[in-house]
């Protein structure tokens, strides 16, 4: 059985998720990449154990995560959890449904009650759990009435299969619309999961972050390193073995000479702060008061240790913020 570090909670900051009673670590581990059957299970196990020993108690999955097939990340996570059963009540486990999952008319991209209910049942079986802490609708579905999606999420709580519900990739207007129904149903809606990074600030122009503060729900943001751009991997160009070099990211075309110059300028500020660029990028995201937690990915345990250290320097001086804003505006 896995034996955790007794002092792990001293190593992490925990933020209340909006106005709810739920607390999430400032840094959470996302299981999107590198947790399926394509890689080494021993490495997956080591990454999850490393995260937990750093006080990372929140693990975020989705029904379609994992390679070479959908659901393989949840399967592997379930295997790891077999050795962590003693700690289940110390973990916050979330999963999502909404994208294409299985063949036929009921498993394609949608937000129907049938799809969401079936998907959550499948996720619980893969992870060998009785319930998840948060169940998300992964992406808005314009072809399903929003009332149906909201009722399906609410029903997951009523059935005891989820403690809280969340939404992902919903903008401000879409969030306001579904929140009205959640309020009527008294559904424990606590979190929205949008993308957000120094190089991707749409939640600010959209007003989603302000809505989160006003209405009292949390933001669990993904891609805070902008598909790896905000690391030291690309400071000298594009390595052949990188995600951009292998064509594994849809934003690779943005990595031109201008972007590389911008990254190097940001890196100078990070170095002066005593941080790596990735750590500063995560600290910057957490500097937004609406953000509850940043979801990091990893391919090896050392990356988790490095990125979790961002909490050691969360504060920014006014001149640092001004310098960053100037660079980002270029």
| CA 101/CA 85 separation, integer angstroms | 28
| CA 197/CA 202 separation, integer angstroms | 9
Predicted pLDDT of residue 242: 66
H helix or E strand, kind and range, residue 23: strand 23-25
Instruction: Give the chain's domains with CATH numbers.
Output: 8-237+277-313 (3.20.20.100)
Nearest to 303 by CA among 205, 208, 199, 225: 225
Nearest to 97 by CA among 44, 152, 163: 152
Residue showing tokens 């909006």: 18
For the chain, the straight-line distance linking the first and the last C-alpha, in angstroms and rounded, comes to 52
Q: Do the Cβ atoms of 174 and 208 come closer than 8 Å? A: no
Length of the chain as a residue count: 330
At residue 249, the 3 state secondary structure works out as coil
| CA 294/CA 241 separation, integer angstroms | 25
At residue 210, the 3 state secondary structure works out as helix
Predicted pLDDT of residue 245: 57
Q: How deeply is 259 buried, as exposed, middle or buried, from its count of CB atoms within 10 A (0-12, 13-18, 19+)?
A: middle
Q: In 8-128, which ranges are continuous DSSP H helix?
A: 41-53, 72-82, 113-127
Nearest to 65 by CA among 53, 77, 57, 73: 73
Predicted pLDDT of residue 253: 78
Predicted pLDDT of residue 250: 67
What's the predicted TM-score (pTM) here? 0.95
What pLDDT tens digit does each residue of the chain (330 aa) get?
788 888 999 999 999 999 999 999 999 999 998 999 988 999 999 999 999 999 999 999 999 999 999 999 999 999 999 999 999 999 999 999 999 999 999 999 999 999 999 999 999 999 999 999 999 999 999 999 999 999 999 999 999 999 999 999 999 999 999 999 999 999 999 999 999 999 999 999 999 999 999 999 999 999 999 988 999 988 987 776 666 656 667 676 788 889 999 999 999 999 999 999 999 999 999 999 999 999 999 999 999 999 999 999 999 999 999 999 999 999
At residue 6, the 3 state secondary structure works out as coil
Q: From the centroid of its chain, how far is CA 121? A: 21
């Amino acid at each position: 059985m896995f034996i955790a570090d007794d002092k792990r909670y001293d190593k992490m900051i925990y933020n209340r998720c909006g106005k709810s009673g739920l607390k999430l670590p400032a840094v959470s581990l996302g299981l999107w990449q590198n947790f399926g059957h394509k890689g080494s299970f021993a490495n997956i196990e080591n990454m999850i154990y490393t995260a937990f020993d750093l006080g990372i108690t929140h693990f975020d999955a989705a029904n379609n995560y994992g390679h070479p097939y959908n659901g393989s990340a949840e399967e592997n996570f379930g295997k790891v959890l077999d050795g962590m059963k003693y700690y289940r009540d110390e973990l916050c486990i979330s999963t999502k449904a909404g994208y294409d999952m299985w063949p036929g008319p009921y498993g394609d991209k949608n937000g129907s009650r049938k799809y969401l209910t079936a998907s959550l049942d499948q996720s619980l079986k893969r992870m060998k759990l009785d319930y998840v802490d948060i169940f998300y609708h992964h992406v808005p579905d314009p072809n399903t009435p929003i009332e149906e999606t909201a009722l399906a999420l609410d029903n997951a709580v009523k059935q005891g299969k989820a403690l809280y519900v969340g939404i992902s990739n919903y903008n401000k207007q879409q969030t306001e619309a579904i929140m009205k129904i959640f309020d009527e149903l008294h559904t424990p809606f606590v979190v929205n999961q949008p993308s957000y990074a120094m190089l991707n600030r749409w939640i600010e122009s959209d007003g989603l972050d302000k809505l989160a503060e006003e209405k009292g729900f949390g933001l669990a943001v993904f891609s805070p390193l902008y598909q790896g751009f905000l690391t030291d991997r690309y400071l000298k160009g594009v390595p052949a073995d990188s995600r951009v070099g292998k064509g594994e990211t849809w934003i690779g075309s943005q990595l031109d000479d201008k972007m590389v110059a911008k990254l190097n300028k940001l890196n100078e500020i990070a170095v002066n702060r005593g941080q790596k660029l990735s750590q500063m990028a995560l600290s910057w995201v957490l500097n937004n008061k609406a953000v509850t937690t940043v979801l990091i990915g990893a391919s090896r345990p050392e990356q988790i240790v490095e990125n979790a250290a961002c909490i050691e320097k969360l504060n920014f001086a006014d001149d640092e913020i001004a310098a960053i804003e100037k660079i980002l505006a270029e």
